[in-house]
Structures are given as structure tokens and as C-alpha cells.
Amino acid sequence: MNKTNGPRLRARRKARFTNDDLWGYVFIAAAMIIFCVFTLYPVINAIYTSFFNYKPFGSEFVGLKNYTDTLKYSKFNLFYKAAWNTLVYTVIVVPLSLLLSFTISVMILPFQKKVQSVFKAMYYLPGIASGVALSVVWLWLYDSSPDGLFNKFLGFFGVPTQNWLSSTKTSMLSLIIMALLSSHGTQIITYIAALLGIDNSYFEAAELDGATFFQKVRYIVWPLVKPTTLFLLVTGVIGSFQVFMNAYMMTGGGPDNSTTMIGLLIYNNAFEYAKYGLACAQAIILTIVIALMSVFQFKLMGVDVEY
Amino acid sequence: MATGLYSQHLHNKKVLYLRNTVITIVLVVFAAATLFPIVYMILSGFGPNVSTAGNMRTIFPSRWTLESFKAFFDFSPYSLRWIWNSLVVAAGTVLGNVLFASMAGYAFAKIRFKGSKVLFAMILVAMMIPYQVTQIPLYILMVQKFHMTNTYSAMILPSLCTAYNIFLCKQFFTGLPTPLIESAKIEGCSQFQIFIRIILPLSKTVLAVMAINTFLSSWNNFFWPFLVTNTPAMYTIQVGLKQFKFANETLFAPMMAGATISALPMFIMFFALQKYFMEGVTIGAVKG
Amino acid sequence: MKKILAIVLSAILVLGMFSACGSSAPAETQAPAQTPAPAETKADAPAETAAPAEPDTIVIMAPPVTGSYLENLKKWAADFNAMYPNLTVEIIETSWDEHNGKLSTMAQAGEAPDIAEISSGALGTYVEMGVAIDIAKYMEEGRLNDYDANALAYMSLEGTAYGLPLYLTIQSIGANKTLMEELGIDVQKIQNEGWTYEEFLDVIKTGTTDSRYGFVFANSGVTASDMLYMFGAGVGLSNTFTPELKYAFTSENMLILLKAIEEMTGSGYMPNFGVEAGQRMVMCQTGNAMIFGKAMPLFEANFKKNNAALEANDGTAVEGSQKMDYAFLPVPTMAGCAESCYGTVDGLIAMRNKDTTDEHLKNVLLFMDYICSGDRIAACMNDLYLDPVCQSGRDALVLEEGRDENNLATAGRCIAMVQAPPAGVTAEMTATAKQLMDEQIVPKFQLLLAGETTAQDVYDHICEAAYAAFGQDNCAQGMLG
């Protein structure tokens, strides 16, 4: 098609832009409607409620009181302790978990398709286990008596029995180990899908240049899966910041609040103490923190790589 | 298929086998650790139908029997229906997400339209709000405004197209080469045709990943279905399994038997989607 | 074009499926087989209320209080409907662990069920929310007198009753009676007269051998507070607030209690690791513990069942367990305080949602009263090995054969010793106390149990936190009682 320069081209370009805009909106239409009704509306509602002392029949406007109550530093304000616990937990678990999944995904690659399937199944299926079964098993593993599985295991090496969940020294460690040993199935599947998309020609070219295995990983694989890594990192951080179910079931807050997470505080305020407005304020503060961290992650890794 | 990552030119067979064996051992050991709870769950389902006030301390049941499986089905006239309900809810959620999230993800990734950055940021931020505080307004919405208590819709709609999946799709589609799309545009394809003819075939993998992840999270979801259903007939399997726990006792083996049965559809789904996991995105189409 | 059509059609299909599925879901089930109330039929049963002939639906939400409670509830709902054909009852069944979360959400959304089961400790939360109802206004004349004042006090705040008690459960310690008697301990004397802390220590010392602990208490995780409450009853701390409405846990009694627990856990007669709730009874049954807590009269059933299983040798008995009889024991007293017992009440409260009218509330209370009294509650109490807390329940009580006389007597004695919370406690006070316990006291107490702090430190922390929360003037000082 011969394009002439000048006004006609510009007009066409402009037309195509508007056309694209329109298409863009059409494509996101369904998603946006669902999003607005079922996600955005509750969120705005929560923000609104955070300025109230919420009661089902007759909330009282309190302005910023919920926020100041949360942030006011006092020896008995658990917010800061919970924030610290959550931060420690996230910073350790998320990157380690990602690294683990990446390593396992890379390790599964060299095998035949059938063998790959077997491994993928083995890693994915633990995620199917019912939460009830999981909690029973983990409580048994971490049982502080000499019969607890971990204690028995340590006993072989002569290590004294640990008071896993009941001691401040080991409670956070227990939760972290639990997170790392649970199913990474979704992350592994995601990574493998990304890895399979890397064209072999890159590797062949690199081999010709005499690259070693680790060099290939570092200079070809890692950059090419950056979008996936970013995705898993951001969602991992979001998930980890909100985590509390594990902590709740295993320790209910832990000795001296050593495993109290922000998610637990929010849950308690919303459902146990009926301080829903306060819970909303805490949630908003948490969201701001997560958003800031995500911006940081995007800046760090967000440069899209295309060949 | 990226197998080129590993050196194909190992002349020494022994080294090849050694390398593969070491990797296998590491993988198996780690997998065993994560598989342990599910193995325990399955084995416990074969135990006797007694209520246990304490933890079951043994890996193997004291007595091997199928009576707990039977007890699971006898427990409630709806035991089987719970599984069906979970299936319907999960299938609906997966369908919605595969359809809508892929479209939205593609739009955010490749179509330049006004406001796309703002909208995407909004979606991301909404994902960061802890679910504890959105439960109550969502519940009010469902019950008071839509009067949808106890329906499939109530369980499916809130997750019909999640921010998580939109984000996932966007990241994957970003990795697709733009020249491919540009050349299609030059040939006069509309965005829609590009989506159907080029993008979708290339994205079988990500769609499969999204499908199975969404299915899994919908299947395992407890609290929301618990909130919006009031009658045993509409429970999903996770809600139903919790009924086995009473104030001072737990019917442990039947609960585990039920959990095992409920894991079966997942097994099936996983293996059914296997072949999609195998394909990668072939970019070779662009070269030359 | 065809593709667009295909996509649009499938989208419509998907959406259509939802609406179809929505409507095909069975309508909320009514109590078995009753037709929705026709308007005008008059009730044959004594209609003491001005029961309007208009059809009304009562929604009740309850977890399995006992194994058969929900089944029974359906039956009672049917009977009730037979008595008052215009009133139908809808039952929402919940699971034990998650009941509170769902109830709280529903209440805060303004969609609370009419009747819900709660434990008395949570009453303050619902009153604060503004959804609880003053039941005296809507109950029939004189019906409230059927209930024991003691139990009713648990379901009241500032003199207003918000619900009816289902049962008063006592928590104390239990023991392997067979073993204790073998060791020459006078179990009956302990059951009849109580014992002091020093005597208790002696007994558990006697019971401790290389393979057996004298005393085991399930205190890991969230159950740690049980130990405080239960032993607290023996040292004058039966309630969170004193009769003068001061916060009780800052008194010297608390320090004595903490020191005693410190001594117990450090003595070697108790395990030095946290014990899981599910393990305590099993440890006793396998002979690894002589006395265990927390225990309830109900456990007698478990022991009897296990003995029968051991005799029949059918493989259902606890592995490694021995035949033994169960004794229910009171907690020891400390520092010369009067003997007491810790009890909690679980009950039903009435709640309002946005559609509630006065007439409706009368009907609600009618049903609530029905299931909390008479032979309905008696059947429940038989399963729970507890005494009913209303006169009509006691009249209707038929105890199963074969209950241990001594345990029965002890349980009766303990129930009589339970001290209800003082009148005049406000919802705000209970809410603050609850938060204080969860966030400040229990975590520090868990540290004490793990041996990582001292009793004095914990006590100081409690005082500091309580002063900050209530103000120093509102906290008890010195010895109580």
C-alpha cells in the first residue's frame, strides 16, 4: 500500500489512534464492569468507612481518628510490632520462595516431556491438599513434645527438642519454614511456561560463543523471564503482606506477639472486636505500604525485554 | 523447547547420567517434603470411622478400611452435591477469567489507548487491599442490593475476572514481539482479528496456567462460599468438609476421605491441561 | 464477523448460565416439610402471646453444639411450627470453628440472623455493635424467671438481658482415678472437699515418674488463657471485674497465680513444652499423665467408651491406652481463698437487622424460649453431662444410666460455686478487657509458659497495660477477697 505523506497520512494516523482507543475499551469492557462492581465498590466503601466508627445501624463520623489511633506510638500498640513481623516474614519468604521455584523450574527442563509432567504433577498437587489436613499435619510436625516429627528428626542429630511454636526464638522461624516447604506449584508452573517460551536459537548461539550453563542462565534466561519474575514478586509480596491464616491457625499471635501479622490485626479488629472502621484504616495504611513497595519493584524490574 | 539451556553436546554419557541423577534426587527429595501432607491425607481416609479428640499420631491408620469413605457419603444427603457445587462454581470462574482477563490483559499490554496506565494502576492497587475489609461491603452488596444469597452467582461473580489474572495476562502478552502485531496491522487486521488469529493461538500456555490456577483457588476457597450459602444443599466441598468438626470431637477419617475425593477433580483437570503446558510461545514466526 | 458473533454468543451463554444457576438453586429450605404458613389458622397450643396470625419466619444460626444438636433443632422447629402454624423456622447450620466469623460479618452487614449462638464472652461485642436486643421487653410474662439468675447474668450487661443461656459449662481438671487410688490418694476427699495448692503439688509430685507426668495442661497457642481463667478461680479471680467493677487482674492475687504457674511449669511435674489441645486426654489415657486439664464432666463418656473398646478389642481404642476410670476434680485453692470454679455460658442471643419489627421480635423470643427450656434443653444437657440452667429443664431432665456418682456430685458442687459476672459491667468494659487479654496478657503468659520470662515481669506488664487501658483508679489493688 503506498502511503502519501502530508495531511492524508496524518489524518489516517489519527483515525487509527482513535480506532485503537475504541478497541482498547471494548477489550477491557467486561473486565472493567466486573472490577468496578465487585472490587472497586467494596474498596471505595472500605476507604469511606475508615473515617467512621462503624456500627451496622448508625456509624459515627470520626475523621482521621482511626488513622491516628493506628499510628500513635505506644508500648501497647501492636501495629508497629505486627508491621515489623510482617516485613521480616515477607522479605525472607518471598525472594527465597521465588528463587526456589525458579531453580526447580530450571531443573525440570532437561528431562523428557513425560518426566517433566511427572515432576510438575508432584510439585503442583500438594497445593490441592485440603487446608484442614495441612493444619493437622503441620501442628504434628511442630509439636513441642519429643514426639513431634521435627523434634524426632532433630533428635537423630542430638539437637535438643525445640519448643517450636511456643518460644519466641523459634516461632517466626517455624512459620517461615512452613511457608517455604509448602506447595510452590503455581509459581513453578508459571515459571516453566515462561521458560518453555525461550527460543532455542538463543542458546545455540550462546553455545557457539562458548557460554557455560550458568552464563546462559544469567544472561539469557533471567532477563527473558523478567516479566514473570516481576509478576510473581509483586503478587507474592501482596499475598505475603496479607497473610495471617497460617499464623492464626498455628499460634494465634504467638508468644509475646512474635508472629502477630498485620493481617491478623485487621482480622481481629474487623471480626472479633467489632472495630470495623479501625480495621479499614489499618487496611488502607497497609495498602499504601504495599503500593509503595510495588512501585519500587516495578522500577527495579519493569523494563520490558524484547528481542 | 529451551532444552538448549542444558548443554546438548556432552560427549561423556557418564557425566550426562550423573548430572541427571543428581538433579532427580534433589527434585524428588524436595517434592517428597511437600507431598507429605497430601499423602497423609489420602492414607488417613482409609482409617476407621471413629471420632478422635486428639491428633492422629500415626502415618498409617490403625485399621485399613473403606468405611470412612462410605461415612462421608452417608453424612449428609448432599455430600456428593457439594462436589458438584464446587465444580460449577470453579468452572464458571475459570470460563469468565479465561475470556475476560485475557482480553483485558492483551489490551493493557499491546493496545495503546488513552488511560490504560491509569486504569491498570487502579486495578493493581485494588488487588492490594486486604480481603478482610472488603468482605463486609461485598456481603452487603450481594445480600441487600442483589439478593443473591445462596446462589451460584453469588459465589462466581466476585471472582469472575480477577485483578491477579489480568496482571498475569498482561505480563505474558508483554513478552510477545510487537513486530508480529505491527505486521498484522499493516496487513489491515483489526485488533479483534489480531487477538483471535494471532494472540490466542500463541497463548495456550498462559491460558492453561491461568485456568488451572483459577480452578485451584476457587476450589480451595472457603470463607466466601461459607458466608453466602445458608443451606447444606448449596455448600461447596470446602464448606461441607468443615461440618465434620464438632465442638469436642472430630470425625477425622471421614473428613480426610472427603478431602481425598474432593481432590480428584483437580487431578483430572491438571492432567487434562497437560498438553498445553508443554507448548511454549513460538516466536519463530517472526524471523525472516 | 463470525468470530465476533461466536464470542458474543458464548459470553451471553456464560452470563445466562449464571442467572439460570442462580434461580435453580433450591430456595432456602424451611424446617422439614412444613408448608409456608397460611394466614388464619389459630394455634391449638396455649397461645399466651398475642401471636399475630400473620406468617412470620424466624432465622436461627447455630453450630453443632453437640453432635446431634442440629438434627434436634430441625425436630424442635417442626414441633414449634405445629404449635404455631404461622411461624416457620429457618435454620442456618454453621461449623464450629467458623461460626463466629460468619456471624460477625452478617451482623455488621446488618443482615444478622434473628437468633444466634454465642459464647458469653462475645456478648459485649454484639451489644457494642448495636444489634443486640433487650429480651425482657419481648418475652412472655414471667418466662424469664424460669432461668437461673446466675446463668442469666452471663448473658446480661448492665442489668439488661440480651439472650438466654443454653448451658453453663464448668472447666476444671480431670484425672486417672484408678491410678490415683493405687497411689493411695484419697480421691473422694478431694472431690468432696477440695484441696489446697500445696496439697495439689504433693499429689502431682507423687504421680510423676520417669515415664509419666503428674500434671499436664493443654496450653499451647490460643488455649493458654484457659490456664489463667481456671486456676484463677481458685485464687479469688473468678471474674474479670470485681463486684466494685474494678479490673481484677491487676490485684495481688494475679501475682500469686503467676508465681504458682511459674513454679508448676518449672517443677518437672509438668511437661516443659507446650501441649496441644488434642493431646491432653490422650496422654492421660495412655498413662503418660495422671491429672490433666482442661477437663469437663463430659469426658467421662470418652473414658467409658475407651474402656469398652479396650475390652472388646476391636481396634477403636486409643493406641496404647489402658483401662481407667475418670475422676472430675476441682481446682486447688491458693493463699486461703475460697473455693470456686470457672464457668462460661454459651447461649442464644436475639439480634436485629434492618427489617426487624416488634411483633417479629415477640415471635423470635417465643421460639428462643422454647428451645432453651423444658425437655428440649434437657435432652441437650444429657449429652453434655451438665445440669440445665432453668427450672423447667431440671424438671424434664432424664439422666442416662451409669453416671459416676462422685463425678456427678463434684460437677454439681462446682456449678454451684461458679460466680457470675457482677452486674453493671458495660459492653465497652468487656470489649476492652477482651482486647487486653488477647493482645497483652496471653502473649506474655505464653512467654512465661515457655520459661522465657518471670512471673513478676508478666505481672508488671499486665498492670502497666491495664492502667493504660482502664486508668489506674479502675484497677484493683492489693489482695481481693
* pLDDT (tens digit per residue) in B91-117: 999 999 999 998 898 888 888 888 888
Does pLDDT of C72 surpass 80? yes
Whether the bond between C444 and the residue before it is cis, its omega within 30 degrees of 0, is no
* Cβ contact B120:A27 at 8 Å: no
* Cβ contact C232:C238 at 8 Å: yes
Q: What is the pLDDT of residue C91?
A: 92
- Encode C87-119: b = buried (16+ Cβ within 10 Å), e = exposed: bbbbbbbbbbebbbbbbbbbbbbbbbbbbbbbe
- CA dist C115 and C162 (Å) reads 11
CB neighbourhood size of B61 (10 A): 19
**From residue B203, how far is each of A101, A190, B2, B190 by CA, in Å?**
22, 13, 17, 19
Residue C78: pLDDT band (50, 70, 90) is very high
- What residue of B is the nearest CA neighbor of A178? B34
Could you tell me the three cell numbers for C107? Answer: 451482623
Helix, strand or coil for residue A106? helix
Does pLDDT of C36 surpass 70? no
* Cβ contact C292:C284 at 8 Å: yes
Cβ–Cβ below 8 Å for A74 and C104: no
Amino acid in position C218: A
Average pLDDT over residues B165-194: 82
Instruction: Quote the number of domains for chain B.
Output: 1
Range of the domain at B102: 70-286
Q: What is the pLDDT of residue B152?
A: 92
Q: What is the pLDDT of residue A1?
A: 46
Q: Confirm whether B4 is domain-assigned.
A: no
Cβ–Cβ below 8 Å for C18 and B245: no
Are C382 and C430 found together in one domain? no
- CA dist C132 and C138 (Å) reads 13
**Using alpha carbons only, what angle is made at residue A31 by residues A26 and A32, rounded to the nearest 5 degrees?**
80
A272-281, B43-52, B144-153, B203-212: range with lowest mean pLDDT: B43-52
Q: What is the pLDDT of residue C258?
A: 94
Say what percent of chain B tops pLDDT 70: 85
Which segments within C221-309 are labelled E, that is strand?
Answer: 289-295
* Cβ contact C127:C157 at 8 Å: yes
Distance from CA of B32 to the nearest CA of C (A): 26
Helix, strand or coil for residue A159? coil
- What residue of A is the nearest CA neighbor of B131? A242
- CA dist A211 and C366 (Å) reads 83
Could you tell me the three cell numbers for C481? Answer: 477477697
* pLDDT (tens digit per residue) in C210-226: 888 999 998 877 788 88
Could you tell me the three cell numbers for C128? Answer: 457494642
* Cβ contact C242:C459 at 8 Å: no
**From residue C215, how far is each of A5, A226, C264, C290, C294 by CA, in Å?**
94, 57, 9, 6, 11
Q: Which residues of B touch C319 (CB under 8 A)?
A: 57-58, 62
Average pLDDT over residues C140-156: 88
Distance from CA of C469 to the nearest CA of B (A): 26
Average pLDDT over residues C144-170: 89
Helix, strand or coil for residue A227? helix
* pLDDT (tens digit per residue) in B119-133: 888 888 888 888 888
Cβ–Cβ below 8 Å for B132 and A263: yes
CB neighbourhood size of A143 (10 A): 26
Could you tell me the three cell numbers for A251? Answer: 499460634
C5 contact B CB<8A? no
Cα–chain center distance at B135: 21
Q: Which residues of A touch B262 (CB under 8 A)?
A: 130
Does pLDDT of C14 surpass 50? no
* Between B122 and C27, the higher pLDDT residue: B122
Q: Give the residue carrying C-alpha cell 438453586.
A: C25
Residue B7: pLDDT band (50, 70, 90) is low
Q: Confirm whether B27 is domain-assigned.
A: no
C-alpha dihedral, C139 to C145 to C146 to C150, nearest 10°:
110
Q: What is the pLDDT of residue B59?
A: 67
* pLDDT (tens digit per residue) in C195-213: 999 999 999 999 899 888 9
Radius of gyration of chain B (CA): 24
Taken in order C23, C26, C29, C34, is the CA torsion positive or negative?
Answer: positive
CB nearest C128 (choices: A257, A258, A274): A274
Radius of gyration of chain A (CA): 25
Range of the domain at C363: 56-167+344-403
Helix, strand or coil for residue B100? helix
* Between C272 and C71, the higher pLDDT residue: C71
Could you tell me the three cell numbers for C287? Answer: 498413662
* Cβ contact A131:B220 at 8 Å: yes
Q: What is the DSSP letter of A130?
A: -
Q: Confirm whether B2 is domain-assigned.
A: no
Name A71's Cβ contacts closer than 8 Å, sequence gap at least 6: A79, A285
CB nearest B53 (choices: C19, C29, C302): C302
Average pLDDT over residues C99-128: 89
Q: What is the DSSP letter of C441?
A: I
Average pLDDT over residues C120-146: 88
Q: At what angle do helices A276-301 and A41-49 cross, to 10 degrees?
A: 120
* Cβ contact C382:C398 at 8 Å: yes
Q: Confirm whether B162 is domain-assigned.
A: yes
- What residue of C is the nearest CA neighbor of A259? C443
Domain with residue C148: its CATH number is 3.40.190.10
Does pLDDT of C42 surpass 50? no
C26 contact B CB<8A? yes
**DSSP characters over B196-253:** IIIIHHHTHHHHHHHHHHHHHHHHH--HHHHHH--SGGG--HHHHHGGGB-SS-B-HH
Does pLDDT of C416 surpass 70? yes
- CA dist C439 and C441 (Å) reads 6
B58 contact C CB<8A? yes
Q: Confirm whether C314 is domain-assigned.
A: no
Q: At what angle do helices C442-449 and C455-470 cross, to 10 degrees?
A: 180
- CA dist C55 and A152 (Å) reads 63
- CA dist B139 and B19 (Å) reads 54
Q: What is the DSSP letter of A160?
A: P
CB nearest C281 (choices: B53, B136, B150): B53
Residue C59: pLDDT band (50, 70, 90) is very high
Q: What is the DSSP letter of A150?
A: H
Could you tell me the three cell numbers for B154? Answer: 453469588
Residue B58: pLDDT band (50, 70, 90) is low
Q: What is the pLDDT of residue A10?
A: 57
- CA dist C319 and C327 (Å) reads 21
- CA dist C477 and C363 (Å) reads 47
- What residue of B is the nearest CA neighbor of C31? B231
Does pLDDT of B198 surpass 90? no
Domain with residue B208: its CATH number is 1.10.3720.10
CB nearest A271 (choices: C101, C271, C434): C101
As averages over each run of 10 residues, the pLDDT of chain A (307 residues) reads 55 58 83 90 90 87 90 86 91 92 86 80 77 73 77 80 80 86 81 80 82 81 85 88 76 80 87 87 90 87 56
Q: Rounded mean pLDDT of chain C?
A: 83
Q: What is the pLDDT of residue C457?
A: 93
Q: In the listed set C388, C403, C418, which residue is the last one of a domain according to the structure? A: C403
Average pLDDT over residues C121-149: 88
Q: Which of C203, C208, C169 is CA-nearest to residue C189?
A: C203
Residue C25: pLDDT band (50, 70, 90) is very low
In chain B, the largest separation of any two C-alpha atoms, in whole Å, equals 71
Average pLDDT over residues C290-307: 89
* Cβ contact C287:C318 at 8 Å: no
**In CATH, what class is A71-301?**
mainly alpha
Q: Confirm whether B1 is domain-assigned.
A: no
Q: Give the residue carrying C-alpha cell 477437663.
A: C295
**Domain spans of chain A?**
1-49, 71-301
Say what percent of chain C tops pLDDT 90: 34
Q: What is the DSSP letter of A258?
A: T
Does pLDDT of B145 surpass 90? no
Does pLDDT of C169 surpass 50? yes
Taken in order A156, A160, A162, A163, is the CA torsion positive or negative?
Answer: positive
Q: Give the residue carrying C-alpha cell 489446697.
A: C196
Q: Which of C146, C96, C152, C100 is CA-nearest to residue C122?
A: C100
Residue C317: pLDDT band (50, 70, 90) is confident
Q: Confirm whether B91 is domain-assigned.
A: yes
CB nearest B163 (choices: A35, A117, A280): A35
* pLDDT (tens digit per residue) in B211-235: 888 988 898 888 889 889 988 889 9
Cβ–Cβ below 8 Å for C108 and A30: no
**From residue C399, how far is each of C69, C378, C381, C384, C387 by CA, in Å?**
17, 9, 9, 11, 10
* Cβ contact C234:C264 at 8 Å: no
Cβ–Cβ below 8 Å for A109 and B284: no
Cβ–Cβ below 8 Å for C110 and A55: no
Chain C 337-366, CB below 8 Å of chain A: which residues?
352-354
Helix, strand or coil for residue A277? helix
Interface B–C counts its CB contacts (< 8 A) at: 118
Q: Give the residue carrying C-alpha cell 488502607.
A: A284
Q: Confirm whether B203 is domain-assigned.
A: yes
Does pLDDT of C158 surpass 50? yes
Distance from CA of C80 to the nearest CA of A (A): 31
Instruction: Quote the number of domains for chain C.
Output: 2
Q: Confirm whether B53 is domain-assigned.
A: no
Does pLDDT of C322 surpass 80? yes
Chain C 142-201, CB below 8 Å of chain A: which residues?
none
Q: Confirm whether C330 is domain-assigned.
A: no
Q: Which helix (H) or strand (E) holds A168?
A: none
Measured between alpha carbons, how far apart are the two ends of chain A, in Å? 27
- CA dist B30 and B26 (Å) reads 6
Which segments within C133-269 are labelled E, that is strand?
Answer: 156-157, 160-161, 163-176, 213-217
